[in-house]
Chains A and B, each alone.
Chain A
Amino acid sequence: MPTATYAGTEVTVNDDGFFTDPAQWTEDMAPQIARQESIAELTDRHWQVIKFMRHEYETKGTGPTVRVLGKTSGVSIKELYQLFPKGPAKIAAKIAGIPKPRGCI
């Protein structure tokens, strides 16, 4: 299992860089993960989404899709893409330290 070190702590991640154990995540790791994803600074709006992702994962066991984020997080899909240009559900999940949202089939 690959590992990564954020905020001085070693964590386990999968091949795509998603946390395998969300309990290892702490808020002070987020800015460093964000920089890896080319997001220079996390604003309050970013944090609103990150905290929402954590909450959804903790209550439902999986992170929401972009469409559900747009309906429920209080941030529109357009703005979500401005905040996380490379794909809001995926990138926000990575920064929030939760597994990649389960794809629909």
Chain B
Amino acid sequence: MLGGGTGGTLAANRLRRLLDAGSVEIVVVDGDDEHLYQPGLLFVPFGLARPAGLVRPRREQFRPGVLFRCAAVDRVDLEADRVWLSDGSSLAYDVLVVATGARLVPEETEGLTGPGWMEKVFTFYSLEGAVGLQAALSRFAGGRLVVGVVDMPIKCPVAPLEFCFLADWYFRRRKMRDRVELTFVTPLDGAFTKAVCNRELSGLLDDKGVSLVTEFNTGEVDGQAGRLTSFDGREVGFDLAVMIPLHGGQAYVDRSPGLGDALGFVPADERTLQSKAKPNVFVIGDAADIPASKAGSVAHFEGEILVRNIVRYLAGEPLDAAFDGHTNCFIESGFGKALLIDFNYDTEPVTGRFPGRVGLPLLRQSRLNHLGKLAFAWLYWHVLLPGRQIPAVPSQMPTAGKRLHAANGATSPPENREAR
């Protein structure tokens, strides 16, 4: 198991429960022993989360019988079924799971890490950045605050919008909202890609006085001059920029012939999670190149299907094409409220309730969703990572409480997927 983050940890724990220790040895490899609760990063800049409270030792998250090896991966030799570590040692495997997530590559954007980086230009997608941004926000006296997504894919595509909503709340609370101009800059043609969701979220940006700049592909960031320039020559000025840098896979993927794509993500079957590189290699979470969001909920829902398929693979049985792209995100909207969206490959986010007719309201601001988001941190450490199911939340997307007619386009409920 390469990677001891959300996907790697929950998959190792689920596998350990399914397979007895005499038959299978499970080794998790990660370059450090710090498991970061990434959903908490959003709250750090606003003083709503304590940085130290977001990190726990990786090795303490595993069930007995899962071995943890703290070492960086140098490369995978697909031919030899062997992983080479940077200390020169190697591990042979029968099955490999790639769970090493996505990596921020801010240096791929001209000027982003140049003058002004961590002074006027920040990201909250790393702990260091989120902490730096907290200080910068607290001394911000007013002016133009720009939240910019350089390009997709990114982890948690709603987080930049949540940042805008929380920034509006933060400056209102500090009684200086009238002195702050908030702008959201995105390469997409709307606030969000999916129709019903886009309408709701664009409306919310509008309500909160956040300007929206679309189809802006950031080519250059000039921290000194305070200016984003798009590849097609448009400019957006800023006094403080919160950038979501380009994402890529881990560097070892590029050093492993045949494993990854041009961005270092690992192509996999979107239903079975088996890699396209080789049958005994599987992928979970952000590391995968599949048409699902890069989000912890996706890794959680993938977990059940991934381990089932590993067990089937080891037994020589056909794989279960059961992953439906299920994604579930709380969207913090400020003032103690949040929205909830729940969707999959075939069904876009719609209104209704989750997980059934009685449940949390979908695509609508509510206090209940905010409490759900806060409760999620506890669930993460105590239910998700140990590899348990969240009660009443199935891996495959529930349709019972959804108003499916509200969406445009293909909204037929997902058919029952049989192994193919």
List residues of A whose CB falls within 8 A of some B CB.
Answer: 64-68, 71-72, 77-78, 80-81, 85-87, 102-105
Contact = CB atoms under 8 A, between A and B. Distances in A.
Contacts of B261: 68
B291 interface: yes
26 contacts: A64-B262, A65-B151, A65-B152, A66-B151, A67-B151, A67-B263, A68-B262, A68-B263, A72-B262, A77-B219, A78-B219, A81-B219, A81-B231, A81-B232, A86-B232, A102-B291, A103-B152, A103-B188, A103-B193, A104-B152, A104-B153, A104-B193, A105-B152, A105-B291, A105-B292, A105-B293
Contact of B194 (A66, A81, A87, A105): A105
B129 interface: no
Contacts of A72: 262
A105 B157 contact: yes
Nearest to B152: A104
Given A68-B261, A71-B263, A105-B152, 14 more contacts: A66-B231, A67-B151, A67-B263, A68-B262, A68-B263, A71-B262, A78-B219, A78-B231, A81-B231, A81-B232, A103-B188, A105-B157, A105-B193, A105-B293
Interface residues of B, number: 19
B28 interface: no
Contacts of B231: 66, 77-78, 80-81
Nearest to B154: A104
B246 interface: yes
A63 to B, nearest CB: 13
B350 to A, nearest CB: 15
B111 to A, nearest CB: 13
Nearest to B348: A105
B215 interface: yes
Main secondary structure of the interface of B (DSSP, over half): loop
Contacts of A86: 232
B217 interface: yes
Nearest to A81: B231
Interface in B147-194: 151-153, 157, 188, 193-194
Contacts of B262: 64, 68, 71-72
Interface string B18-52: 00000000000000000000000000000000000
